[in-house]
């Protein structure tokens, strides 16, 4: 049954103190809990504690055996008076926990994941984020198997026990919700370092991994220290404990988790060296380490009142990690990457059956709402507020927010209110961004007469499930005019607030023909439609002084030609080819930017622009465009193959050179597959880093050449024992577009190294495959069958991860009739499967909707 935001009620009982005692064993762990419970408000209801697959072995109130009942999964206990100590005892089986929520085993370790509702799989508890407690945690375990025992906060006591066991006691002085509880037990080794905070306190830092992985922790450690410094400088936020621990585990449902003082990470977001990790991996690691660290304030010190407020911590924290990465590397390239991700994942979500507001109104399973909308569109909302308020007032707003709500469970409304109060800016209309789902469509047309340029703007917001007739949003658009002749900006950039359905904006003293540069820096997450001509886009692509707008102009030029070609027009390549050539020849542009700007939009991005998708036609058009670019300037691309960048150089410049060189390699293979295969193979053979190896394999993966097989076999032999690298081997093949790719993916799903239980491996194969539009949507429907089978099988083990594989099928309405039916049929087959989890049920039933 769904839960609704409007039904929120404060907790009936508070729990100021929690004491936990774990007798840790992989097969059977005994958990004793003592909760100090206080009645909240004037009522006489019993205490209700959530559980999930738990049965109480004993329940005591103030030391006496208590009467209790189970109501579904809830433990219901009558309480007399306003305060009591409630003790429960349960047994759980970490080894058998394939959901990876609660306490589970991963590669010989025991670890926890509690957000959102995993704590109730460990012990009975209200398990809601507005119940904050101080925790004292005792762990007992075998000393040889689990020499290291970690929990939140500080270690206060350790000692040996009988039978080769030992114990440790940890206390966390900061009250926290149960979703931030964590413990880890295992044979781990630390990479230790320290950080001195702005007030001069020394914080001990440790990243805990298996001994053999220690050399791969340096990059994450540096990122952690950079993040700590950045949060002090940019937000005035200082770390608050004397200890900060990070643990890497191999089996993890998502990226990482911000548990107070004990972050737990998917090992792919910690471990890296140039031999095994790509530049992308390095960047992702820094971004996720920063993200989890920043949660210490935006999430832990100020947490969420209920899960509808998830974007309060996630949107804000994504925004913070994006800005951190922008400051540490190339600002404009990071912005381009973030917008690409938003468009690739969030726009389709907003435009499909699973669309929901940044602050959802209801859910069946909250795990399904850890979405690109809550995270990435949520981050765009924060960014828009910064744009509207400007930097200084935005900072004043965040200071006020942290000061006002420190130690509390807050709402999205509290955040906006703090921004309003600190800045004196009215954000009432802006709040609609939290309420209305769907990506606004903004039309912009510029007309010129008598020295005046008039910009006509209009907005509309598409209907989404359960929402129609939407109100206009407050949309901040950064606008500038450029001289058509010189390409130089005329006058200052302006921030236009589009607040009406239709609106005009005028610019005086415009005496020469001008070009419109709009939504600069992607100031608002909207779909923009302009009547700018190809000629104008071409000029903007060559000279706009806003790097994002410049990138955008070249992308739009390509997109227009591509969608027209899919619709049956001849492919217009002239303007595109000229724009690409100009970009490549421009000495003032850095290589990373060039690489971004000349890449042809992906097939799924092209599909998103179409009324009805025929994947074969999209594929054909995209190949044709790549070919015309590659054939028009083969020497230019061949020259770029000589760009130098040493593998251990991780500077933005070196990364950019690698990126551009690898784009050039792909273009060379497009121009001439035979030479391309030979070149890619030789790049693979002489690569001194994983970025180049993966890029060369990526090029080869699409080619029918003996070099392909040789390189993939070599890669497998070399890295078969390195799980994170082997994931790349799976996903590269899953994204291949060659003839026979589908059969290869089917075969990989039965490969001895394929493992349904490991989320990284499952995602590497299946999400890689589902993003491969041309192959996944094979007219036979075999792609859909494979995915549906996999969802049904995975759901029995790990519902959260299974549910994440449903959205690719949920796009069924967008496809041509034949595929539409096949996709729908696959969804119906999943819906009919026995014992469906509520996670998959929600995604499938809404998708069929």
Cα–Cα distances (Å) from 56 to 86, 97, 121, 275, 468, in that order, read 12, 18, 12, 50, 47
By beta carbon distance, the residue nearest ligand ARG is 370
Cβ-based nearer residue to ligand ARG, 256 or 455: 256
Contact 334, 327 (CB under 8 A): no
Cβ at position 772, least distance to Zn ion in Å: 28
Give the binding range for Zn ion (CB under 5 A) out of 84-92, 166-174, 316-324, 685-693. Answer: 316-324
Which residues, 6+ apart, have CB-to-CB distance to 80 below 8 Å? none
Cβ at position 296, least distance to Zn ion in Å: 11
Give the binding range for ligand ARG (CB under 6 A) out of 256-264, 353-361, 603-611, 732-740. Answer: 256-264
Tokens 């413990």, residue located: 183
Is residue 587 classed as helix, strand or coil in its secondary structure? coil
Cβ-based nearer residue to Zn ion, 112 or 317: 317
- Establish if 314 lies at the interface with ligand ARG (CB under 6 A): yes
**What's the token pair of residue 374?**
């809550």
Cβ at position 611, least distance to Zn ion in Å: 36
Cβ-based nearer residue to Zn ion, 341 or 447: 341
**What's the token pair of residue 79?**
């309480």
Cβ at position 319, least distance to Zn ion in Å: 11
Tell which one of 87, 172, 258, 420 touches ligand ARG (CB under 6 A): 258
Where does 720-781 have alpha helices with state H? 723-734, 741-748, 759-770, 773-776
Cβ-based nearer residue to Zn ion, 231 or 546: 231
How far is 603 from 733, CA to CA, in rounded Å?
A: 17
88 makes contact, choosing from Zn ion, ligand ARG, none, with CB < 5 to 8 Å by partner type, with none
670-676: long-range contacts at Cβ-Cβ below 8 A with a sequence spacing of 24 or more?
670/623, 670/626, 670/627, 670/630, 671/627, 671/630, 671/631, 671/634, 671/637, 672/634, 673/703, 673/704, 673/705, 674/705, 676/703
Contact 313, 412 (CB under 8 A): no
Per rule CB under 5 A, count of chain residues that contact Zn ion: 2
Give the binding range for Zn ion (CB under 5 A) out of 160-168, 229-237, 309-317, 529-537. Answer: 309-317
Cβ-based nearer residue to ligand ARG, 264 or 473: 264
- Establish if 300 lies at the interface with ligand ARG (CB under 6 A): no
Whether the bond between 623 and the residue before it is cis, its omega within 30 degrees of 0, is no
- Establish if 603 lies at the interface with ligand ARG (CB under 6 A): no
**What's the token pair of residue 542?**
């060559």
As beta bridge partners, residue 249 has 266
Cβ at position 246, least distance to ligand ARG in Å: 13
290 makes contact, choosing from Zn ion, ligand ARG, none, with CB < 5 to 8 Å by partner type, with none
734 makes contact, choosing from ligand ARG, Zn ion, none, with CB < 5 to 8 Å by partner type, with none
Dihedral of the alpha carbons of 467, 471, 473, 479, in degrees to the nearest 10: 120
Cβ-based nearer residue to ligand ARG, 260 or 417: 260
25 makes contact, choosing from Zn ion, ligand ARG, none, with CB < 5 to 8 Å by partner type, with none
Q: Of residues 362-381, which lie at the interface with ligand ARG (CB under 6 A)?
A: 367, 370
Q: What share of the chain is helix, strand, coil (3-state, %, to 5)?
A: 45, 25, 30
Cβ-based nearer residue to ligand ARG, 115 or 420: 115
Cβ at position 315, least distance to ligand ARG in Å: 11
Query: Which among 35, 27, 22 is positioned nearest to 184, based on CA atoms?
Result: 22
Q: Which of 258, 292, 536, 552 is catalytic?
A: 292
116 makes contact, choosing from Zn ion, ligand ARG, none, with CB < 5 to 8 Å by partner type, with ligand ARG
152 makes contact, choosing from Zn ion, ligand ARG, none, with CB < 5 to 8 Å by partner type, with none
Cβ-based nearer residue to Zn ion, 73 or 306: 306
Cβ at position 728, least distance to Zn ion in Å: 25
Contact 141, 149 (CB under 8 A): yes
How far is 841 from 56, CA to CA, in rounded Å?
A: 29
Give the binding range for Zn ion (CB under 5 A) out of 100-108, 307-315, 811-819, 827-835. Answer: 307-315
- Establish if 256 lies at the interface with ligand ARG (CB under 6 A): yes
840-846: long-range contacts at Cβ-Cβ below 8 A with a sequence spacing of 24 or more?
840/791, 840/795, 840/799, 840/802, 840/803, 840/806, 841/364, 842/363, 842/364, 842/365, 842/368, 842/803, 843/354, 843/368, 843/803, 843/806, 843/807, 843/810, 844/806, 846/353, 846/354, 846/465, 846/810
Contact 224, 296 (CB under 8 A): no
Give the binding range for ligand ARG (CB under 6 A) out of 250-258, 344-352, 666-674, 744-752. Answer: 250-258
The angle at the Cα of 282, spanning 278 to 288, to the nearest 5 degrees, equals 135
Q: Of residues 90-149, which lie at the interface with ligand ARG (CB under 6 A)?
A: 115-116
- Establish if 257 lies at the interface with ligand ARG (CB under 6 A): yes
Cβ at position 226, least distance to ligand ARG in Å: 18
Cβ at position 378, least distance to Zn ion in Å: 10
Which residues, 6+ apart, have CB-to-CB distance to 757 below 8 Å? 98, 251, 797, 798
* Alpha-carbon Rg for the chain in angstroms: 28
Cβ-based nearer residue to Zn ion, 133 or 317: 317
Tell which one of 254, 269, 430, 729 touches ligand ARG (CB under 6 A): 254
Cβ at position 600, least distance to Zn ion in Å: 32
As beta bridge partners, residue 753 has none
Cβ-based nearer residue to Zn ion, 310 or 770: 310
Q: Catalytic site residue 292?
A: yes
Is residue 642 classed as helix, strand or coil in its secondary structure? coil
The residues assigned a catalytic role are 292
Chain residues in the site for Zn ion (CB under 5 A): 314, 317
Chain residues in the site for ligand ARG (CB under 6 A): 115-116, 254, 256-258, 291-292, 314, 367, 370
């Amino acid at each position: 049954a769904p839960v609704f935001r409007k039904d929120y009620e404060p907790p009936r009982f508070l729990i100021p103190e929690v004491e936990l005692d774990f007798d840790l064993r992989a097969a059977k762990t005994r958990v004793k809990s003592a909760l100090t419970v206080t009645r909240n408000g004037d009522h006489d209801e019993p205490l209700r504690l959530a559980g999930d697959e738990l049965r109480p072995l004993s329940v005591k109130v103030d030391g006496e055996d208590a009467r209790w009942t189970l109501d579904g999964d809830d433990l219901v206990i009558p309480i007399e008076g306003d305060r009591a100590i409630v003790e429960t005892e349960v047994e759980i089986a970490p080894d058998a926990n394939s959901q990876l929520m609660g306490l589970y085993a991963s590669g010989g370790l025991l670890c926890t994941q509690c957000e959102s509702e995993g704590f109730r799989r460990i012990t009975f508890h209200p398990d809601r984020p507005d119940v904050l407690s101080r925790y004292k945690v005792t762990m007992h375990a075998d000393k040889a198997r689990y020499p290291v025992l970690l929990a939140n906060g500080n270690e206060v006591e350790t000692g040996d026990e009988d039978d080769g066991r030992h114990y440790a006691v940890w206390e966390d002085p900061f009250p926290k919700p149960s979703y931030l509880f964590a413990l880890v037990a295992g044979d781990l080794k630390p990479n230790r370092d320290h950080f001195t905070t702005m007030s001069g306190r020394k914080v001990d830092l440790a990243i805990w991994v298996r001994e053999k992985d220690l050399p791969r922790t340096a990059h994450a450690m540096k990122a952690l220290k950079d993040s700590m410094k950045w949060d002090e400088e940019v937000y005035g936020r200082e770390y608050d404990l004397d200890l900060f621990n990070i643990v890497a585990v191999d089996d993890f449902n998502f990226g990482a988790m911000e548990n107070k003082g004990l972050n737990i990470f998917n090992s792919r977001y910690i471990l890296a060296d140039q031999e095994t990790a790509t530049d992308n991996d390095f960047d992702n690691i820094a971004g996720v380490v920063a993200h989890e660290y920043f949660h210490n304030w935006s999430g832990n010190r100020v947490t969420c009142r209920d899960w509808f407020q998830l974007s309060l911590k996630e949107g804000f924290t994504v925004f913070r990690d994006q800005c951190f990465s922008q400051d540490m590397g190339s600002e404009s390239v990071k912005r381009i990457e973030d917008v690409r991700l938003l468009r690739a994942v969030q726009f389709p979500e907003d435009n499909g059956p699973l669309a929901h507001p940044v602050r959802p109104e209801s859910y069946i399973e909250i795990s399904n709402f850890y979405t690109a909308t809550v995270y990435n569109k949520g981050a765009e909302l924060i960014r828009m507020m910064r744009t509207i308020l400007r930097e200084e007032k935005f900072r004043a707003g965040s200071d006020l927010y942290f000061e006002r709500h420190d130690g509390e469970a807050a709402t999205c409304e509290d955040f906006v209110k703090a921004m309003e109060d600190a800045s004196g800016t009215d954000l009432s209309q802006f709040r609609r961004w939290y309420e209305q789902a769907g990506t606004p469509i903004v039309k912009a047309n510029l007309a010129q007469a008598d020295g005046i340029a008039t910009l006509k703007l209009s907005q509309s917001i598409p209907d989404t499930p359960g929402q129609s007739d939407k109100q206009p949003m407050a949309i901040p658009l950064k606008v500038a005019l450029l001289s058509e002749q010189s390409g130089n900006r005329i006058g200052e950039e302006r921030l236009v607030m589009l607040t009406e359905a239709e609106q005009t904006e005028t610019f005086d003293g415009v005496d020469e023909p001008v070009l419109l540069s709009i939504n600069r820096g992607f100031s608002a997450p909207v779909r923009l439609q302009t009547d700018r001509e190809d000629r104008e886009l071409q000029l903007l692509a060559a000279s706009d002084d806003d790097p994002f707008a410049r990138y955008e102009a070249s992308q739009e030029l390509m997109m227009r030609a591509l969608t027209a070609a899919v619709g049956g027009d001849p492919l217009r390549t002239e303007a595109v080819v000229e724009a690409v050539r100009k970009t490549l020849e421009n000495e003032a542009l850095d290589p990373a930017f060039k690489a971004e700007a000349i890449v042809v939009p992906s097939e799924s991005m092209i599909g998103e622009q179409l009324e009805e998708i025929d994947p074969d036609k999209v594929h054909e058009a995209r190949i044709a465009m790549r070919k015309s670019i590659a054939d028009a300037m083969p020497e230019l691309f061949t020259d770029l193959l000589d760009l130098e960048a040493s593998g251990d150089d991780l500077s933005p410049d070196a990364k950019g050179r690698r990126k551009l060189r690898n784009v050039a390699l792909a273009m060379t293979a497009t121009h001439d597959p035979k030479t391309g295969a030979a070149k890619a193979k030789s790049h693979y053979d002489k690569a001194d880093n994983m970025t180049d190896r993966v890029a060369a394999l990526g090029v080869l993966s699409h080619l029918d050449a003996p070099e392909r097989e040789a390189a993939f076999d070599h890669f497998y032999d070399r890295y078969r024992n390195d799980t994170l690298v082997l994931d790349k081997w799976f996903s590269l093949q899953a994204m291949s577009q060659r003839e026979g790719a589908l059969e290869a993916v089917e075969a990989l799903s039965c490969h001895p190294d394929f493992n349904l239980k490991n989320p990284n491996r499952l995602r590497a194969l299946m999400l890689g495959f589902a993003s491969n539009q041309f192959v996944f949507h094979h007219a036979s429907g075999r792609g859909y069958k494979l995915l549906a089978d996999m969802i049904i099988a995975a759901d029995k083990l790990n519902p959260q991860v299974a549910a994440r594989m449903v959205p690719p099928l949920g796009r069924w309405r967008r496809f041509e009739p034949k595929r539409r039916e096949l996709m729908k049929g696959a969804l119906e087959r999943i819906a009919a499967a026995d014992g469906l989890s509520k996670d998959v049920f929600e995604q499938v039933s809404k998708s069929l909707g």
